[in-house]
Chains A and B, each alone.
Chain A
Amino acid sequence: MSTLIEPTALTNPVEKVLRNDRIPTIWCPGCGLGTTVNSFAYALMASGADLKKTAIVSGIGCSGRVSGYVALDSFHTTHGRAIPFATGLKLANPELTVVVYSGDGDLTSIGGNHLIHAARRNMDILVVCVNNMIYAMTGGQAAATTPGAATSTTTPYGSFEPELNIPQLVDAAGACYVARWTAFHVKQLEKSMTEALKKKGFRFIEVLSPCPTLYGRRNGYADGLAQMKEYKEMAKVKNGAPTYEVAITHGQPIIVGKFVDRDRPDYLTLMRSQLGAHYHEVAEVGVGCGDESEGKEGCCSC
């Protein structure tokens, strides 16, 4: 049941960006997700984006619910596939500002391939990846981002896999903008989101966020605040840091900041410049097979 809050003279400044009829959220007390959404709401307003022409797409998971709390065109898709859905939206209506907001398991594990290829294609979308280092919605299983020593319900003795350095991955794949912040760095995050919203091409922001319920408690953090404190103490802002140096290692400083900011033509720009005059013009299309059909005889068998 939702709690009815008496309207007061004081309204939330980000109210117009939120679906107030969906609030309170399903998120646990101390969860960092709401904090990131707050920064995002401010960024949306600051960026000057036309909210009517902005769509938000999520996959599945606690972070996957973000799309449903933001008063934009919201698409809650399938597990891991927010990026390809967003790709379809953008291609079919280039006027849209398209944001993917999802979790680490969703975007980097089950959806990892889409992440790589959207960055490679330089699809003009912003991806916000909330990294809570765990599969939370399903009850705290290990993710590709779970730090080695940490335990989870499926790695009760600790994980035997090194964690993924997400900024390095998307940087290598060609992202135009790569940044990392934590739920503690609300102002920096907001600024980064604003900047990214205004930029063209594939943009990626990782936000470390406490999951006290399923990650924190099991790994020695009393509550969300304890994780926030760690972010505060351990975080080191290093703008422009080479992404191969920003892996998150237990007990080591957490490198945050804007790592990559470069320009290269996005997919649609490249398409238009390559197709040039041919685009929209009815070109002659051979209906027969002609010479090229000879190639098809060797057509593959797989």
Chain B
Amino acid sequence: MQKEPQTPQGPACDPEKRRLLLAASGLAGAGVVAGMSVPFVTTLLPPEPRTAAGAPIEVDLSVLEPGRMLSLQWNNKPLWILRRTPEMLAALQGADSRLLDPHSTASEQPAYCRNPFRSINPEVWVAEGLCTHMGCIPIFSPQRTADWAGGFVCPCHAARFDLAGRVFAGSVAPRNLTIPSHCYLSANRLRIGGAETPA
């Protein structure tokens, strides 16, 4: 046993008291640190989610020519509406073996779009224009070449999608493009988002 340390004023406080003091100040210190770190986290949190986002929009399709794609902004994301030509539709059939998920089992889309065309009416295709890899906007590349039947190529890391937004196997992107819920109000009037009542 060591001798109790002496201070000029006399013996130092007894070890029991010292341990208690140490524990108390340690505990208090930890509490203060924990309490003070809270604002350093809360100030960094994102603001309340924007509630207005996601309100449905209506789009007039009568001006959309075959082979052309409309790019809109909806829900803070790019939204695409493509009117596909018969050749484009033909090209969507038969490429299945080169696709990662030809039947859209893993991707996000309403049930009525889980078909080879990924649309309600084969001609008109609606999708969110964000690459499922890292969120860039793929570039619409409809020009056909010997080994390209038209589709989308992402400028960021070269993920490739067909004209139904289905990703080609071997790409960096894991899923087909996302399709938002939508419905036809009339033959040429499309509503995107919201409830899916009218047929």
A, B from the same assembly = no
Q: A residues within 8 Å of B by Cβ? A: none
